[in-house]
Amino acid sequence: MSKPLLEIKNLSIWFESFEGPLKVLDGVNMIVLPGEKVGLIGEMGCGKTTTMKAIAGILPVPPTIIRSGSILYQGEDLMKMNKKKSRQIRKKELSMIFQDPMSALNPVFTIGTQLHDIIKINEKKKGFIKGKSIQLLKEVLLPDPARILKNYPIQLSGGMRQRICIAMALINKGQILLADEPDTSLDVTIKEQIMKLLRELVGKYNKSIVLVSHALGTIKSLTDRVYVMYAGSMVEMASTQALFANPLHPYSKGLLEATPRLTGKGIGDGINGRIPEYVSPPNGCRFHPRCKEVMDVCRREKPSFFNVSKDHGVACFLFKNSRN
Amino acid sequence: MKILKNINNIGKYFRKGGNISRIFYKFSRNPLSVVGLILFCIIVLCAIFAQYLAPYPESAGAYVNFEEAKQPPSYKHFCGTDVLGRDILSRILFGTRYSLIMGIFVLLLIAPIGVTLGLIAGYFKGSWLEIIIMRVTDIFVSIPTLILALAICALLTPNLQNALLAISFSWWPWYTRLVYGLTSSLKEEYFVKLAEVSGANIAHILFREILPNFSGTILTKMTLDMGWVILTAANLSFVGLGIQPPTPDLGNMVADGALYLPELWWVAIFPALSIVLIVLSLNLLGDGISDIFGVERI
């Protein structure tokens, strides 16, 4: 196993609120290898975006309390080093695509100006900026780049804006691309195109990608390895093939069952209930109130990660004995 | 009303064309704002060329001519003369100049300061910076502007600069509060986050990403506020804490004239009317500017 590019160790993040702290992230562990495409799935509100924002370092500080944990980039702890240095590293190595292409572009500037700004921030040299912007827009398959440079975001459709966001993320020559649900606001035909585009471009620039998505199809076609997240911690980690073929954790099973299939057997039962309140989350395994195979030990203790096979780990007491 | 309709039609010629004509088209959809613009232009021109327009420029200084004193409006003196024989029209033209200087300089002084503080407080919401800036702002806002300006003026020597400082001192918190609210709603937008991830510095985020989003709101508020600043300045000189006689100022002219009401009505009424005209034109203009930017009324 090569040295991990990005490693998150036991990350716990709380948010202040009037009812008391929201205990959102509860010991997140995650590894991203160089050039690897990692997926992150889970219900909404289970802390996927919070994890992404923590990696990017853009959580608003007053409500956020970082309880413990570390984010290591090539062995260096981004949380412990001073702010200036960690910002330098993030600026150099990270780029991010946001959930909502509608608000990811500044409404008062033309696309050209915004691309120009980001290119200027990333590369200190002058000249060829316009040529470079046009080339970037061509790369994301936008028609008539010269005209689009003069347009304001409001004149473009959601898919076009999302492509521009991808183009912006590609300006950065860094190694990690955080894609936080890049497909949410797109319709099905555009989604397919954009995902294909993303896959090609990430392969071309040899970036690692962390992809958050609700669309399991997207995850299946784009990623090498998947983390399943529930209520602020990782419940299962497996190679994409292994997870889709043989999900182990009851939560993953339910999540995959809830997907309609072409074989026409209808949709499975899914999972009853919903994500717990974060003010007072359940003790022990946070999934136990919804779990069909709940045991006594689940109510008392939080399960640690048990490795079932070389590339398949699960945080559930059902698999305690299969530890190797 | 027919004239108003014609003015509205002028706007339609500008409908097609570049940016400037499009802006003017939006502006001219409300004919009253065109009236405001024209009125304001006339007032500014009068103020600039007061020396040449005034029939008796010497009236603006320390000048006494008892032979002509207390003349009612006539062809010789359009607005009559005061008890010292000074031509009211000439004094109004010069007084307008000081009113406009007051309005423009106060806003040029406070808008950048108030806006910057508001941006900082809004962007660092929840930190000690926000707490300090916003609590100080709250203290200032809790005292009525006019009372605060009067108090400060009373402490200092009454003259143009000190009146200007006093009004500025009591006016900046409104800009801070406005911009603070707008910034704190905008700072969680993804384009701001994107700039943060890209490694842009604070100045870039505040002044290039966030500020341009509400330049229209600020410009509208500045135009509307200018009228109120002029009115406040007139209030200050009315009670003798602003510009000192014999320098003509609309406020102290009204104060002088008030002593001779109702017999010498023209001494007080014409300066008062010109204050009304200035404030009215600025309000109409402000409405038009808010139409250009599509800003809601503030």
Please write the tens of the pLDDT for every residue from B35-58. 999 999 999 999 999 888 888 888
The verdict on a CB contact (< 8 Å) between B191 and A108 is no
- CA A117 to chain B, closest CA, distance in angstroms equals 9
- Where is pLDDT greater, at B198 or B109? B109
In this complex, is the C-beta atom of A249 within 8 Å of any C-beta atom belonging to chain B? no
User: Is A62–B127 a contact, with Cβ atoms under 8 angstroms apart?
Assistant: yes
Whether B194 sits inside 8 A of A117 (CB atoms) is no
Contact assessment for residue B73 and residue B80, using Cβ atoms and an 8 Å cutoff: yes
The reply to whether A17 touches chain B by the CB within 8 Å rule is: no
Cross-sheet strand order for the sheet of A94-97: A94-97, A176-180, A208-212, A37-41, A225-230, A233-239, A312-314, A306-309
A91 and B209: CB-CB below 8 Å?
no
Residue B161 has pLDDT above 50, yes or no: yes
* Nearest residue in B to A114, CA atom: B209
Per-residue pLDDT tens over the stretch A232-243: 888 888 888 888
For the CA atoms of B105, B111, B114, B118, what is the dihedral angle to 10 degrees? 180
Contact A62 B188 (CB under 8 A): no
Percent of chain A with pLDDT over 90: 0
Residue B283 CA to residue B290 CA, distance in Å, equals: 11
Q: What is the mean pLDDT of chain A?
A: 80
Our CA-based measurement puts residue A84 at a distance from the nearest CA of chain B, in whole angstroms, of: 10
- pLDDT over 90 for what percent of chain B? 32
Q: What is the pLDDT of residue B276?
A: 93
Q: Token digits for B58?
A: 């010497």
Does the pLDDT of residue A324 top 50, yes or no? no
- CB within 8 Å: A117 and B126: no
Cβ within 8 Å, pair A91-B189: no
Q: Which residues of chain A make contact with B198, given a CB cutoff of 8 A?
A: 91, 95, 118, 121-122, 168, 172
Highest mean pLDDT among A189-198, A299-308, B273-282: B273-282
d(CA A115, CA B194): 12
Q: How far apart are CA A250 and CA A84, in angstroms?
A: 43
- State the alpha helices, DSSP H only, in A172-207: 188-205
The pLDDT confidence band at residue B132, using thresholds 50, 70 and 90, is: very high
Residues of chain A with C-beta less than 8 angstroms from the C-beta of B200: 117, 121
pTM of the model: 0.79
Whether B235 shows a pLDDT value over 70: the answer reads yes
DSSP string, A81-149: S-HHHHHHHHHHHEEEE-S-TTTSS-TTS-HHHHHHHHHHHH----S-HHHHHHHHHHHTT-S-HHHHH
The secondary structure element, H or E, covering residue B109 is: helix B88-123
| pLDDT over 70 at A190, yes or no | yes
